[in-house]
Chains A and B, each alone.
Chain A
Amino acid sequence: MMCYLLAGQDPGPFEFIDAPVERKPIIFQAGEYDITIHPNTYVYCLPAVSRFVRGDAVGDVITSDLIHTPDISLLIDLVTNGEIILGNHNWLVSTSCASGPAFEGSGLTSGMRGMHGAIDHVRIDPITDEISYDVIGDSKPRDICGTGIIDATIAHGCCRNS
């Protein structure tokens, strides 16, 4: 979808379930869109597979060994929507799920991305009820990231030694 926005094409039709998906890459020269590299450089946006399995999933497959081995592999890409790819060097199938950006901290009441100032580790003293937390960059906390929420709400205290 971002490739469409970058290339100035309208992603609006993908709102509809029966929107046709053209499995072709978007290719243009950097100079056409004022990208600050050599203007004649070709920019290649990876093609989409379906409405919700798009260039990022294709990039995952290319960079993994999934398509080079006869063994069956499972690839899970958790971003704003989750993409699941199953297969080997002969066949590949994929689906997507509405995983939402919760793991990226978006949509949470006090959420932020896992960057400087994000709480990424939470533990509680069961005797004093005192809360201890770690902050990325060892600075004052700004908000909590997805890792912090997962760590705080994990069923068993096995993530890290406290």
Chain B
Amino acid sequence: MPLLPMAAAGILDFSGKLILDAPGIRKGRDGLEYLLVPGEMIATARDISITHQDIAYQMDTKAAIPGAISVLFMKYRVKPMDIRHLYLAGAI
């Protein structure tokens, strides 16, 4: 059986929400969160988790980029097929 990302493993639903009854999900300070690494296993003694806010934040970020591209495409009547070169830049 292959190892899966969260959505395929049944931890995230199709809309990007954490599923309450899924394994590893708990109620944190700011709502549901998925515990990746318990604090007692690492030097910082702080749990590493992915919260529903993190996922919402990431989805907003992802949505903003095609939104901005669409604004330019519509305003200057450029179609995706007109693009001959795509450059990506950014930090890690």
A contacts, CB < 8 Å to B: 60, 64-66, 69, 71-79, 82, 84, 86, 93-100, 102-104, 107-111, 113-115, 119, 122-127, 129, 131-133, 140-147, 149-157, 159, 162
Contacts and interface: CB of A to CB of B under 8 A. Distances in A.
A94 to B, nearest CB: 8
B21 interface: no
Contacts of B37: 119, 131, 133, 141
Interface of B: 1-12, 16, 23-24, 30, 33, 36-37, 41-44, 46-51, 53-55, 57-58, 60-61, 64-65, 67-69, 71-73, 75-76, 78, 82-92
Contact of A108 (B57, B82, B88, B90): B57
Given A114-B92, A119-B36, A144-B48, A74 B7 contact: no
Contacts of A104: 91-92
Secondary structure of the B side of the interface? Answer: mixed
13 contacts: A65-B85, A74-B69, A97-B68, A102-B60, A108-B50, A109-B53, A109-B54, A110-B47, A113-B91, A124-B4, A142-B44, A155-B5, A162-B4
CB-CB nearest 4 A-B residue pairs: A123-B3, A71-B84, A114-B92, A97-B68
Contacts of B55: 149, 153
A96 B1 CA distance: 43
Given A72-B82, A103-B61, A129-B23, A142 B42 contact: yes
Nearest to B82: A72
Nearest to B24: A129
B68 A77 contact: no
Contacts of A99: 61, 64-65
